[in-house]
Amino acid sequence: MPPIRFFAALLAPLSLTSCLMLSANTHWDQRRSLAKYDSGGGIDAPVSLPELKNRTDKGFSAADFLTLHSGLIVSGKYIDEDFKSKLATSRESQEGVLELGFSVPIAKGGSGFGSCAPVTADGYFLTAAHVLAHKECYVLYATSNRQRTYIDYAPVRIVYRNDAADFAIVKAELATPRYLRFRREPLASGETLFAGGWMHKRAGGEFLEYQPVEGVPDGQFQKVVTSLPMIKGDSGSPLIDRSGKLCGVLSTMRLGVVIKMKPKSTAVRMETGEVERLIRQDRGR
């Protein structure tokens, strides 16, 4: 089997500038959590790629699964001619080798980037609304043809946005053959979850509780509170269960002071039927 190497979206380190406040969540938190929760078989994620000659491989880790089943959103000042030139050359990967390499020069404390979760085969994604901070946004997505795997890209169009819930549906004119199916049944307390897109080390944690979202119609949205060690840049990343089903998109993290605090993050989930209705409505336009 050809080698599979992931180093997509390599970003400069991000940190807070205040000497009094620190993020309670670090790369080490994420690494430890993934080592703990990506055990016992990890996520059963059969993925068929042209590089594998259409054979099904069940050896993907949670991290690789999430990279293959998410997108990177880049916007604002990062959209320039140099960026577009790098996107064009990223499609020239060696045949038979899945090697995703792309660099975005994110400055410390910068904004205009995040992740998203593909939910259909024709380019519909879910993300956090605050990721869409600029008018012009591009989505990057790892895809394949029979010769190579490369990073495809396209501008995004906002289909639906709710800032109170920090939730959005966007459309990109590209094929997304690897996409996430929705989890429709409620999560149980203590159930294992994974999260992460392209931005940082992926992480595992546990479901803690559902909470209502203020300022939106009852029952339309839920907050999914977890023990995941989310860090800055993870916004919009897919939250999945052990079977790879989508449970929401990451929205907020808890920031701690210098004293030790356990990681915690919140994802947002829109009622599945409403997401599907909005996508059908958009297709019909």
199 with 84, same domain? no
Query: How many Å apart are CA 55 and CA 50, to the nearest integer?
Result: 8
> Tokens in use for 21?
């406040």
93 is a domain residue? yes
In residues, how long is the chain? 285
pLDDT tens per residue, range 217-227: 888 999 999 98
Query: How many Å apart are CA 180 and CA 55, to the nearest integer?
Result: 20
**Per-10-residue mean pLDDT, the chain, length 285:** 33 26 58 74 68 64 81 77 66 45 43 85 95 87 75 91 96 93 95 80 85 88 89 84 93 60 83 97 94
CB 224 within 8 A of CB 269: yes
User: What's the pTM value of the predicted model, to 2 decimals?
Assistant: 0.82
Q: What is the pLDDT of residue 21?
A: 33
CB atoms within 10 A of CB 16: 13
118 with 148, same domain? yes
23 is a domain residue? no
Tell me, what CATH number does 84's domain have?
A: 2.40.10.10
Is 102 exposed, middle or buried, given 0-12, 13-18 or 19+ CB atoms closer than 10 A?
A: buried
173 with 63, same domain? yes
pLDDT tens per residue, range 156-199: 999 999 999 999 999 999 999 889 999 999 999 999 999 877 76
Q: Which of 178, 241, 195 minimizes the C-alpha distance to 47?
A: 178
Q: Provide the residue range defining the domain that includes 79.
A: 4-12+41-180
> Tokens in use for 51?
């590089």
> Tokens in use for 137?
């946004």
Q: Which of 282, 197, 180 minimizes the C-alpha distance to 241?
A: 180
Instruction: Answer with the one of 180, 208, 224 that is the final residue of a domain.
Output: 180
Task: Work out how many domains the chain is built from and give that number.
Answer: 2
